[in-house]
Amino acid sequence: MKINGTPYRSVWVNEKDGWSIHIFDQTRLPFSLDILRLTTQQEVAHAIRTMQVRGAPLIGAVAAYGLALTLRQDASDAAMEQNAAMLAATRPTAVNLHWAIDRMLNSLRPVAPENRVAAAYAEAGRICDEDAAQNEAIGRHGLELIREIAKNRPAGTQINLLTHCNAGWIATVDWGTALAPIYMAHDEGLNVHVWVDETRPRNQGAALTAWELGSHGVPHTVIADNAGGHLMQHGQVDLVIVGTDRVTRTGDVANKIGTYLKALAAQDNKVPFWVALPSTTIDWSVANGVTEIPIEERAASEITHVAGRDENGRQTRVQITPDGSPAANPAFDVTPARLVTGLITERGVCPATEEGLRSLFPEQ
């Protein structure tokens, strides 16, 4: 996607600068667009843990490059396996991270140690290219759903979409999952408007989705997380579209905490609830998302404090709870497949069922 007219991906390599990895520091957005240069696997692991990079597909891609950085220092089997395990343990819920590390290991194990660095950069590059292409395809398939709504309305009528968290280009290598169809609809002149859930506690909606949509000129309004149900009751949401961190083979969807409540409200109000994902987000080994998907528990300080910018333009954190009040911070929840209207993948759309997913991915 473009920032001030210049095309960027969310992760890239600079061969002339020691083959370092570059990312945008997402903890600084929307106030500051800082590029971080990562040169060791420890820096990569830190960036993933602290959410300088985040979003399921992007953490997989960055971890793949993290493994390439590891091999620059020590390309032995032992170091590769140990550092792969360390990178895979940085965040538990998004399956893309584990998928990317497994793919890297499977391609690198047969390669002689002296050839591993080049092979690792090449494989990580392919992971990135494929992610960008998959998300573009998701955009085209999701666009059809928005066109369908437009077709049944008087020309130019505003179409109101609602999204939760950030599943845009900054959460993937390019395009995004949930936001890709929205960008394409906007680009072809459809009158789309997006309700952006702020997405407490880390405010990925307010900070990142709003920044992305604003930079691209897409009309949007940031709302409190609890406003969605009210808007749906009043006919102000035509379609909910979210991304996901892990989808079971039966169609259960793990995504940012609060997604499940949006799905319940959508079901009650007969608002279609769609989930956009590349196939790298499907965990074919899991059948029951509620009981089997590990849910990341993050620091209580993300609940007790909010981050923002003060009147002097400085980024700051302020406490919002009484001293001593305990806080719990489950970072994801699982929306059961029965509440999901359908899945948008790079191969097309399908019902959120095992049959639906297998019809698109018969090789599984």
CB of 124 or CB of 179, closer to ligand MRU: 179
Report in angstroms how near the CB of residue 188 gets to ligand MRU at its nearest. 22
What's the token pair of residue 362? 């018969």
CB of 122 or CB of 299, closer to ligand MRU: 299
35 and 24 in contact (C-beta within 8 Å)?
yes
Torsion sign, CA atoms 233, 213, 165, 240: positive
Tell me phi and psi for residue 137, to 5 degrees: -65, -40
Nearest-CB residue to ligand MRU? 243
Catalytic residue among 174, 245, 252, 283: 245
352 annotated as belonging to a binding site for a ligand: no
245 belongs to the catalytic site = yes
What angle is formed at CA 117 by the lines to CA 23 and CA 119, rounded to 5 degrees?
95
What's the token pair of residue 101? 């590390």
CB of 258 or CB of 356, closer to ligand MRU: 258
Interacting residues with ligand MRU (CB under 6 A): 54-57, 94, 165, 167, 171-172, 176-177, 204, 243-245, 255-256, 331
Q: What is the DSSP string of 179-205?
A: HHHHHHHHHTT--EEEEEE--TTTTHI
202 annotated as belonging to a binding site for a ligand: no
Report in angstroms how near the CB of residue 331 gets to ligand MRU at its nearest. 6
Report in angstroms how near the CB of residue 278 gets to ligand MRU at its nearest. 8
CB of 79 or CB of 129, closer to ligand MRU: 129
255 annotated as belonging to a binding site for a ligand: yes
Separation CA 347–CA 364 (nearest Å): 14
91 annotated as belonging to a binding site for a ligand: yes
Separation CA 247–CA 344 (nearest Å): 12
Say how far residue 304 (Cα) sits from the centre of its chain. 24
73 annotated as belonging to a binding site for a ligand: no
Secondary element (H or E) of residue 304: helix 301-304
Report in angstroms how near the CB of residue 166 gets to ligand MRU at its nearest. 6
Residues that constitute the known binding site for substrate: 54-56, 91, 204, 255-256
The catalytic residue positions are 245
